[in-house]
Structure 1
Amino acid sequence: MRVITSAEIDRVLTCPDLVDALADAFRGDMVAPVRHHHEIERPGKDATLLLMPAWTGPTAAEGFVGVKVVSVFPDNGARSLPSVMGTYLLMDGATGEPLAALDGTRLTVWRTAAASALAARHLARKDAESMVMVGSGALAPFLIRAHMSQRPIRRVALWNHRPERAESLAAQLRDEGLPVTVTTDLEGAVRQADLVSCATLSTAPIVKGEWLKAGAHLDLVGAFNLSMREADDEALRRGEVYVDTPAARREGGDVAVALKSGAIPESHLKGDLFSICASPPARAGEAITVFKSVGAALEDLAAAMLVWRRIGQTS
């Protein structure tokens, strides 16, 4: 069994190819059961173990089985360790033989950004030129690169509640040749943006619906539980709302919260990545669109399969 590091994943993946691989996965024959969620009692704060299995179906061209194992240990900060760590195990679909253990954390940021870009491929205006990135954490650079691979983005305004962190990331991305500048005026930046992507841990709405201009696309990635919000109810009410999978109706912040409170009805949701990829929606030029992702095991499997193919070709 091969161990595949984050550096190897970065070496073999590209945004356009991964977006295409996810599109094939959402149109194809894959099985992804409900993720397993286990609480682990520990002194201090309890830990969490997440298991996300998926496998290709009988009509798939190649057979694979995979599972992502994610641990969340909130007290790890005191040990100078990440609180969230993950590993992806890829197995042969015909024999169950373990093929590779991949860096699960790196695989996750790649596939999460690619899923948002896949949605934007169909939901954002084709002439979208300006982007606002809300948040400057680990996902931010991947989201910027992924969205730029699908739309002719010429300007990216980066906002973070700690401006110094935004400045540091913006400098790194400019060194790559990306057109990223820092803004401290989030409202002003959002009002001018064609595409707004959010990846934060906020527990209160950051982006207001009244700020979104006609034709804007809002990408909500960060709020992963029911106590978190990145956009207010008005943003959801104004937009044509899509989700990555049906799980987003009950998991994560924003859409699940608004459904639970009655701020929007179930009928307000227009579709998910399965329906988007099977039958791309017609987009009215002035429509505001919203995409909410909570993550899906089939995305991890599709990404791991692509890495495995590329590793074999480049070894």
Structure 2
Amino acid sequence: MNGVRILSKQDIASLPLNTEAVMQAVESAYRGLARGTATNPEKICVKTAEDHSIAYAMLAHDGDGKKMAFKTSYKYRFTADKAEQKYYTSLMIYDDATGLPLALMDCSRIGSLRTPAVSGLLARHAAPEGAEHLLMIGSGTQGQTALPFMVGSLPFLHRISVAGTHAGSLADIVATARLQFPQLAIDIAADPYTVAAEADVVLAVAGAATPFQIRARHLKPGSLCILVGHGLHPDALAAADVVVATSARQMQVTGLDMQDADGYLRPADIELPDLVAGRMKARSTPGQTLFAYNSGMVITDVALGALVVDAAEAQGVGQCVTLW
């Protein structure tokens, strides 16, 4: 196929992308960052007056895989109810070995896989040893995709509790998880605050409207909490013994909703690339309580985009367009 491969949302949905391959791709991206063979500059943001719409532009270079890529995202009426919003995200990948464009694709599925894969890596490297109980707060898109990555990263897990405000989505998540993981006890947490005191890992993937805010006093000593969306109170960050971030610099930009009452946002102590590369350990003593901040980095989208391109080429999916 000559020219640029155009991959629609429907094209990408048809491709088989297994959990382990996604985890390996995302992990390789962080290893590249740790080695200095990958580059992930800060994103550029444009927000219109009165918070009407918001757009981001992101660039990354994968030196190991010889890929250069641009990602864009645009959300219309981003402060309105979800039903009123419009959201579009795309990824353009170039082959940096040949200088040729490879593909232009919808990036929504890539994002929906990248984020839980990163949560899985955070759990793998920062969860307490022998973690057995996971509490997940949230029943939206991330809640529906997160569990396979968490189960794959926590080998001693035997119980999953799920909390959320959408009863139908919660029931679907639990039913699907029981089919996927029949060896695990899976339940709906009627009172997530009580369950948080028992959980070794708390994964917060809820939307902004969630009524749940797990505070430091609710957490089990020595546990790990991972923030993806909402569901954790800022004092869970402030009181943590160790703070891990995918990017300390990006956390200071995108984590402003976790500032304390004085407007202070505690900085990260450790970054995920250093954990993945084995240069640092998340815990110096077993009893430490950890807070992990999962913010997206476009270098991981590049790694998954390359995986998508390979799968699309193998199956002949997509359309070829000659632009140049």
TM, length-normalised to structure 2: 0.82
Aligned position for 1:37: 45
Runs of 5+ consecutive residues of structure 1 not aligned to the other structure: 224-228
Post-superposition Cα deviations, 1:108-145, rounded to whole Å, max 9, x if no partner, equal 01111111111111101242121111011101122211
Q: Report the CA distance between 1:197 and its aligned residue.
A: 0.3
Aligned with 2:22 (options 18, 24, 30): 18
Q: Distance in 2 between matches of 1:138 and 1:17?
A: 20
Structure 1 residue 242: deviation in Å?
Answer: 0.5
Say whether residues 1:129 and 2:128 are aligned partners: no
Residues matched between the structures, number: 302
Q: Distance in 2 between matches of 1:212 and 1:84?
A: 34
User: What is the CA RMSD across the aligned residues, in angstroms?
Assistant: 3.0
Q: Which residue of 2 aligns with 1:104?
A: 107
Report the more deviating stretch, 254-263 or 66-75.
Answer: 254-263
Q: 1:24, 1:75 → 2: CA distance?
A: 32
1:226 matched residue in structure 2: none
**Where do residues 136-155 of structure 1 align in structure 2 (5 Å cutoff)?**
136-152=139-155, 153-155=157-159
Alpha-carbon distance in structure 2 between the residues aligned to 1:7 and 1:76: 30
**Corresponding residue for 1:166?**
170
Q: Give the SS at the match of 2:88.
A: strand
Instruction: Compare 287-296 and 277-286 and name the one that shifted more.
Output: 277-286
Structure 1 length as normaliser, TM-score?
0.84
Residue equivalent to 1:156? 160
Q: Partners of 1:254 and 1:240 in 2: how far apart?
A: 18
- What is residue 291 of structure 1 aligned with on the other side? 292
How far, CA to CA, are the matches of 1:255 and 1:80 in structure 2? Answer: 23
Q: Which segment is superposed worse, 44-53 or 124-133?
A: 44-53
Cα displacement (A) at 1:163: 3.5
Identical aligned pairs, as a percentage?
Answer: 20
Equivalent pair of 2:204/2:228 in contact (CA under 8 Å): yes
In structure 2, distance between residues paired with 1:215 and 1:6: 43
Between 1:201-210 and 1:128-137, the stretch displaced more is 201-210
Structure 1 Cα separation of the partners of residues 192 and 274 of structure 2: 32
Offset of residue 254 of structure 1 = 6.5
Matched to 2:132, the amino acid is: E
Residue 194 (1) aligns with residue 200 (2): yes
1:274-289 superposed matches below 5 A = 274-278=273-277, 279-281=279-281, 283=283, 284-289=285-290
Residue 302 (structure 1) aligns with: 303
Aligned to 1:238, the other structure's residue is in SS state: coil
- CA shift at 1:293, angstroms? 1.6
Tell me what 1:209 maps to: 216
The one-letter code sitting in structure 1 at the alignment partner of 2:249 is A
Evaluate the alpha carbon distance shift between residue 260 and residue 121 of structure 1 in structure 2; reply closer, same or farther with a 3 A threshold.
farther
Q: Aligned partners of 1:80, 1:151: CA distance in 2, in Å?
A: 35
Q: Which residue of 2 aligns with 1:54?
A: 60
CA contact (8 A) 1:248 1:255 kept: no
**How far apart are 1:39 and its partner, in Å?**
2.7
Distance verdict in 2 for CA 1:202–1:32, change over 3 Å: same
> Once the 2 structures are TM-superposed, how far is the Cα of residue 314 of structure 1 from its aligned partner?
5.0
Aligned partners of 1:6 and 1:106 also within 8 Å: no
Equivalent in 86, 90, 93 of residue 89 of structure 2: 86
Instruction: Identify which of structures 1 and 2 has the higher relative contact order when contacts are C-alpha pairs closer than 8 Å and 6+ apart.
Output: 2
**Cα distance in 2 between the residues matched to 1:185 and 1:194:** 16
Which residue of structure 1 aligns with residue 272 of structure 2?
273
CA distance in 2, matches of 1:260, 1:109: 33
SS of alignment partner, residue 193 of structure 1 = coil
